[in-house]
Amino acid sequence: MLRVLLADDQALLRDAFRVLLDSADDLVVVGEAGDGREAVRLVRELRPDVVVMDIRMPEVDGLAATEQICADPDLQATRVLILTTYETDAHVAQALRAGAAGFIGKGIGAEELMDAVRTVAAGETLLSPHATRSLVERFLATPEGPSEKALKELRTLTAREREMLAQVATGLSNTEIAERLFLSPFTVRAHVQRAMTKLGARDRAQLVVIAYRTGLVHAAPGGDVDPSSG
């Protein structure tokens, strides 16, 4: 059973999320917080597996709370999933720097939210398609190109690992990549983890940046991702 903490300043939304998550056989809401300071306190007290965190809250906002939680070595087992109305590129970048394991918008469906909680609890980093595009656009706007070191490291990847890296750059989860390539999620995860190790990437968000900066994938017209590059 995955234990979830809800952090949102709107009680009505917390009630709705609680009912939704508690309806799943493998999820249970163990606590609720109305601001970031209370969220940090409850995480230390309850040790949930996942915190579903809003950004805009009084006292301490969700980004600051996320940073406090992720910086605490005693809370390494807790993963933070940012669920917000404001999917701006600045918020995406700040959330990832703070240590968030996922970033999704409040417009997602019920099943998608439950799957998102399960995904980050399993140790994956989850970005909504919009968040992935924002991240890509933010980093592509920087003037520096790929370093020679990055290009050399990319050449150490096998063909399958480069294929996985290109798929990760689209924002897909391991399960979605497995379905697309007719592989098992375990096989996909193994290839992705080996790619992360070889490239020295901390998380999947860094893999996305590497994929673009090395030219392995490109942004298609309209800001979408073209995984067929490279």
- What is the spatial distance between Cα 229 and Cα 153, in angstroms, rounded to a whole number? 18
pLDDT, residue 214, reads 80
- What is the spatial distance between Cα 16 and Cα 10, in angstroms, rounded to a whole number? 10
- What is the spatial distance between Cα 64 and Cα 66, in angstroms, rounded to a whole number? 5
pLDDT, residue 182, reads 94
Question: Do 187 and 175 meet the contact criterion of CB atoms below 8 Å apart?
Answer: no
Question: Do 161 and 187 meet the contact criterion of CB atoms below 8 Å apart?
Answer: no
pLDDT per residue of the chain (230 residues) written in tens, 0 to 9: 999 999 999 999 999 999 999 999 999 999 999 999 999 999 999 999 999 999 999 889 999 999 999 989 999 899 999 988 866 667 777 887 788 888 888 888 888 899 989 988 887 777 765 666 566 565 555 545 556 666 777 888 999 999 999 998 877 778 889 999 999 988 998 999 899 888 887 667 678 778 877 878 765 544 444 554 44
The two domains 2-137 and 145-226 share their CATH topology (first three levels equal): yes
pLDDT, residue 88, reads 65
Task: Give the CATH fold of the 145-226 domain.
Answer: Rossmann fold (3.40.50)
Domain spans of the chain, in order of start: 2-137, 145-226
pLDDT, residue 130, reads 63
Structure tokens at 195: 């790619």
pLDDT, residue 146, reads 55
pLDDT, residue 147, reads 61
**Strands, E assignment, 8-56:** 27-33, 50-53
Domain 2-137, what architecture?
3-Layer(aba) Sandwich (3.40)
User: Sign of the CA dihedral 77, 78, 82, 83?
Assistant: positive
pLDDT, residue 132, reads 60
